[in-house]
Amino acid sequence: MEPAAFVCPQSLASLEPRAWVPGRDSDSRAGTREPERGRLGADSLLDPTRLIRDPQSGRTYHRGRLLGKGGFARCYEATDTSSGHTYAVKVIPQSRVAKPHQREKILQEIALHRSLHHRHIVRFSHHFEDEGNIYIFLEYCSRKSLAHIWKARHTLLEPEVRYYLRQVIAGLRYLHQRGVLHRDLKLGNFFITENMELKLGDFGLASRLEPQDRRKKTICGTPNYLAPEVLLRQGHGPESDVWSLGCVMYTLLCGNPPFETADLKETYRCIKQVQYKLPTYLSVSARHLLAAILRPMPQDRPSLEEILQHEFFTKGYTPAQLPPSSCTTVPDLTPPSPAQSLFTKVTKSLFGRKKNKSKTALQEQDNLSRLVSDLVLTSICPQSSFKEPRLAQEETDGAPSLAESAPEEGSPRSLAAMGSSCEGSEECLTAATVMESALCALRNCLAFMPPAKQNPAPLASSEHLLWVSKWVDYSNKYGFGYQLSSRRVAVLFNDGTHMALSSSRKTVHYNPTNTKHFSFPVEAVPQQLQGQLGVLRYFASYMDQNLMKGGDLPSMDEAEGPTALLLQWVKTDQALLLLLSDGTVQVNFYLDHIKLVLSGWEPLLITFVTRDRQARTYQAPHLQRLGCTPDLRLRLSYVLRLLRQRSGA
């Protein structure tokens, strides 16, 4: 059984494990759970003791079943009586935070959690308090936690462990980049959503990273997952979270924590002396990675990035999705066929190849530039696998088909289905980050959106929106050309390089990678780039003479607005997906020329360009609260599915 968290007396963290929703894990012993109840039955609504009312807004919530409890708080399912939205609400009695330092700890947890916005972090919704309690409303995770899966399964397959650990590392890397230490990583704090997505939660013990000489030396966390330096009171650092991650990996693969004994003192002795056994049935790569993580000296442990680059992840199969049945039974995880694996490897080598910085690689880059200069660069896309878009059948639910007849932006037509400016892991992660942000915001918007017959009032202006107003796909020879609303024209070439012409047409911007940038006056472009400049001018002329602007959104002056690169473009049977480096996600539907532009993120702005080219911009929180037309909702749902497919979520 997973041991409880050990904390100092001043900590407000839970003293026993619990799971199910964002909070801590609760044992399922008899007498610790309330009976199951209907969400909004008439009898329960008449019971005033089960209603929670926000004194400020007047909104009321029905308190449902008990989900977990700890030393200072209880966690319940809670449903908004007006909208039907379900939350996990953490209820903290005022009597438990009567002392100033106790209340300050709770307020610090709230402030920290509400500042976190990531796909693999439990979403903080809102909080309020009344005379009796403090209420913290969090994202509801319907499939409990990884602790529940572990208790049902005891051990997991290596592909499953990779699937979960990749998501844990993504959330943990986000925390560390923001200077936040979790300090209580364990199975019960990894929550699982309805679609089997992992969310890192419970920030009761989290703290800000301090310099080495000022790091907190309090022993806190869960005994079986504590790092040696924590037990020795040498302070917490990111390496302590990495150690706990190794203990989590060991527990999932082996069925029990690496240092678990019947006696707590003996467990602590084993941790300090790093005494544990690696079962022989583990794969060689799993054994090597665990041995690398569970090292006594913090500085000797690999970073999160190095862990992801270990052969356990790079050479082992990771499923894109786990079935819900895997929560209780061993799933059938058949890897893709050899042909599919070969196609994936070829695609990665073409669109995600990390370029060697050696002289040989630079010479190859020059050779590619010369090929483009001679206008003889052939397509690097698998032409034989692409079919011309065809009319799609109507969806089974009777919703309008999002189908393609021909792109609005005209010929030349592409034989390529995808292009990307990613050249290595760093750049690919940039595109992945854009998709993750859009996924998180769009998923939250749709999950809580009520039905409506009309859209809410749009924003008065969207003058700062940067979007792709024209595009032309000629990647069967050169690359993907596009014009931004700032009137900058650019080309993402087939070799991964990027060149743009400023709105004044006086400056050329050249990006050999997403992180390297050179600019030249038009008259001073180096000779080896003259060929690419010729292609860029060809695209600019073609779009200017043959293509109409895609909507009535205002143009912005390039000097006043942001600049952005096209990170990735993807063509489906029904639409074109564009990811820009400023976080913008744009989807153009072929059949009716409708466009969706997602931007902003705080809050998310959703711009809907209709068939008659009229643009309306809405704030996602407004749509989430008031709803939207079925057509707009259909489009947003399609974009969500498309992003999920591309990100493997």
Q: CATH code at 454?
A: 3.30.1120.30
Rounded CA-CA distance 67/14 in Å is 14
Rounded CA-CA distance 443/437 in Å is 10
The answer as to whether 228 is a domain residue is yes
| Choice between 515 and 577, residue whose per-residue pLDDT is larger | 577
Q: With 80 as the cut, is the pLDDT of residue 480 above it?
A: yes
Three-class DSSP category at 22: coil
Other beta carbons less than 10 A from residue 407's beta carbon: 20
Residues facing 327 on adjacent strands: none
Rounded CA-CA distance 276/313 in Å is 23
What strands, in cross-sheet order, belong to the sheet with 86-93? 51-53, 60-69, 74-80, 86-93, 133-139, 124-129
Mean pLDDT check: name the lowest of 113-117, 157-161, 435-439: 435-439
If you search the block for the tokens 């308090």, which residue do you land on? 129
Pair of tokens at residue 506: 């006086």
Which pLDDT value is given to residue 115? 94
Residues 431 and 560 in one domain: yes
Of 294, 322, 350, the residue at which a domain comes to its end is: 322
Which pLDDT value is given to residue 504? 87
Q: With 90 as the cut, is the pLDDT of residue 135 above it?
A: yes
The band of 116, judged by pLDDT with boundaries at 50, 70 and 90, is: very high
Of 322, 352, 383, the residue at which a domain comes to its end is: 322
Residues 6+ positions from 395 with CB-CB distance below 8 Å: 401
Q: With 90 as the cut, is the pLDDT of residue 211 above it?
A: no
Three-class DSSP category at 339: helix
Mean pLDDT check: name the lowest of 235-244, 258-267, 352-361, 439-448: 352-361
Residues 6+ positions from 488 with CB-CB distance below 8 Å: 500, 501, 502, 503, 558, 563
Residues 493 and 620 in one domain: yes
Other beta carbons less than 10 A from residue 29's beta carbon: 7
Type of residue at 637: S
Residue-averaged pLDDT of the chain: 78
Mean pLDDT check: name the lowest of 2-11, 345-354, 562-571, 594-603: 2-11
Residues facing 518 on adjacent strands: 510
Other beta carbons less than 10 A from residue 406's beta carbon: 12
Question: Cα–chain-centroid distance for residue 194?
Answer: 16
Other beta carbons less than 10 A from residue 8's beta carbon: 11
Rounded CA-CA distance 201/138 in Å is 10
Rounded CA-CA distance 379/495 in Å is 10
What strands, in cross-sheet order, belong to the sheet with 595-599? 418-420, 566-571, 575-580, 585-589, 595-599, 605-609, 615-619
The answer as to whether 270 is a domain residue is yes
Which pLDDT value is given to residue 475? 83
pLDDT tens digit sequence for 565-591 = 899 999 988 899 999 988 899 999 988
Q: Is 493 exposed, middle or buried (0-12, 13-18, 19+ CB in 10 A)?
A: buried
Three-class DSSP category at 138: strand
The band of 592, judged by pLDDT with boundaries at 50, 70 and 90, is: confident
Instruction: Please check if 99 is assigned to a binding site.
Output: yes
Segment 118-139 mean pLDDT? 95
If you search the block for the tokens 């019971």, which residue do you land on? 47
Residues 436 and 565 in one domain: yes
Q: With 90 as the cut, is the pLDDT of residue 251 above it?
A: yes
Type of residue at 15: L
Are 555 and 486 within 8 A, CB to CB? yes
Question: Cα–chain-centroid distance for residue 34?
Answer: 34
As annotated, the active-site residues are 184
CATH number, position 151: 1.10.510.10
| Choice between 549 and 277, residue whose per-residue pLDDT is larger | 277
The answer as to whether 49 is a domain residue is no
Three-class DSSP category at 250: helix
* Percentage of the chain exceeding pLDDT 90: 44
Structural domain range at position 609: 418-647
The answer as to whether 129 is a domain residue is no
The answer as to whether 571 is a domain residue is yes
Rounded CA-CA distance 137/549 in Å is 44
Are 7 and 59 within 8 A, CB to CB? no
The band of 426, judged by pLDDT with boundaries at 50, 70 and 90, is: very low
| Choice between 121 and 432, residue whose per-residue pLDDT is larger | 121
Which pLDDT value is given to residue 49? 78
Half-sphere exposure at residue 469, Cβ-oriented, CA atoms within 13 angstroms: 22
Residues 429 and 318 in one domain: no
The band of 385, judged by pLDDT with boundaries at 50, 70 and 90, is: very low
The band of 423, judged by pLDDT with boundaries at 50, 70 and 90, is: very low
Q: With 60 as the cut, is the pLDDT of residue 194 above it?
A: yes
The answer as to whether 60 is a domain residue is no
Total tally of structural domains belonging to the chain: 2
The answer as to whether 549 is a domain residue is yes
Long-range residue pairs from 103-112, CB within 8 A, at least 24 positions apart, any chain: 105/10, 105/11, 105/12, 106/12, 106/134, 109/12, 109/203, 109/204, 109/206, 110/136, 112/180, 112/203, 112/206
Three-class DSSP category at 519: strand
The answer as to whether 232 is a domain residue is yes
Q: With 60 as the cut, is the pLDDT of residue 638 above it?
A: yes
Pairing of strands 418-420, 133-139: unpaired
Q: With 80 as the cut, is the pLDDT of residue 111 above it?
A: yes
The band of 644, judged by pLDDT with boundaries at 50, 70 and 90, is: confident
Kind plus residue range of the DSSP H or E element containing 468: strand 468-474
Residues 437 and 292 in one domain: no
Residues 286 and 424 in one domain: no
* Percentage of the chain exceeding pLDDT 70: 73
Of 272, 296, 322, the residue at which a domain comes to its end is: 322
Residues 424 and 570 in one domain: yes
Cis check for the bond before 55: say yes or no (omega within 30 of 0): no
Which pLDDT value is given to residue 236? 83
Which of 291, 294, 273 has the alpha carbon at shortest distance from 282?
A: 291
